[in-house]
Amino acid sequence: MPPIPPSDKALVPFVSVENMMKLVHHIGIEPMLRGLAEYIEDDFRRWELFDKTPRIASHSAEGVIELMPTSDGEVYGFKYVNGHPKNTKEGLQTVTAFGLLANVGNGYPVLLSEMTVLTALRTAATSAMVAKHLAPKGADTMAMIGNGAQSEFQSLAMKAICGLKSVRLWDIDPAATHKAAHNLKGLGLDVHVCDSAEDAMEGAQIITTCTADKQYATILSDNMIGSGVHINAIGGDCPGKTELAPGVLHRSEIFVEYPEQTRIEGEIQQLAPDHPVTQMWEVINGTKPGRTSTGQITLFDSVGFAIEDFSALRYIRDHIGGTDLYLELDLLADPDDPRDLFGMVQRAAP
């Protein structure tokens, strides 16, 4: 007897790494970054509808494994993600991820997707969406400190969303900088390879830090930061891991995603628990001010939040229709009688 094919109820759309990369080229990387930023901004506007909790983290000496759940009441989403800084020395990614969306009404998954590539895209889109609100008017030059897997995505998102024209690259590993410079060649940005972090600051109105070491570090010291800049600090994302000197924080107006998570994981873990911060959803809604003067230093203390992943998965769900860029995965059991799961198993005997 030939095997019975799975029913439609058993199948869940799955976007593999291969298909995610094809989707990026099908849409175009800059249009996709702009689209992701729009979805993220839309969900920030309805921030109060979402379930919100700091991500559930399992820490080890080598890194961290995290689950990031949220729901808007109709759709549930989560991301599995790790962060293991030593991985690159073993030929592995520092960050890997996958995510899922499900129907709240019946609990059935409606999308399963890789999120290693998608996390890089959504992180860059979030950075640029925030910079659109906080960076000084006319900002067109960015210092990119840390030239690992995120650097090109960050640079292109700032170009696509904020009009960035020039990026100044520096990394403690010159090979990483030359990799980023090579990858960005011909993509519409003036790319400058710098000899030091201080050199990278020259003329930059936006400063992005994205380093991976799991430690308290001083990537930006107080004397490196002049007035009127926007700092996009995205490397700090777990307890004991920071990039900015405390003096920089005290001189800055600080903006965050979700304070309860950022105070544990972000740059502000170095500050008093009641140090004032502004939530970005309030700026986007117009209920709190963003940049208020040309000389102000604005700091986005970004650690990544589950709503951004939800937005990215929602974008993918809405853009794979009509394409062949997903697989139908036989993920859910669907017995003829919902109460007869055992019978379904028995009937599958060879």
- Residues noted as catalytic: 237
Q: Are 77 and 111 in contact (CB under 8 A)?
A: no
In degrees, to the nearest 5, what angle opens at C-alpha 277 toward C-alphas 298 and 202? 20
User: CA 104, 58, 96: angle at the middle one, nearest 5?
Assistant: 75
3-state secondary structure 227-279: CCCEEEECCCCECCEEEECHHHHHHEEEEECCHHHHHHHCHHHHCCCCCCCEE
The dihedral region occupied by 237, where left means phi > 0, alpha psi between -120 and 50, and beta the remainder, is alpha
* Residue-level length of the chain: 350
Please enumerate, as own/partner, the contacts of 193-201 that have beta carbons within 8 Å and a separation of 24 or more. Answer: 193/169, 194/143, 194/168, 194/169, 194/170, 195/170, 196/170, 197/143, 197/145, 197/170, 197/224, 198/224, 199/168, 199/170, 200/143, 200/144, 200/145, 200/168, 200/169, 200/170, 201/143, 201/168, 201/225, 201/226
Element holding 159 (H helix, E strand) = helix 151-162
Contact (CB, 8 A) for 264 and 241: no
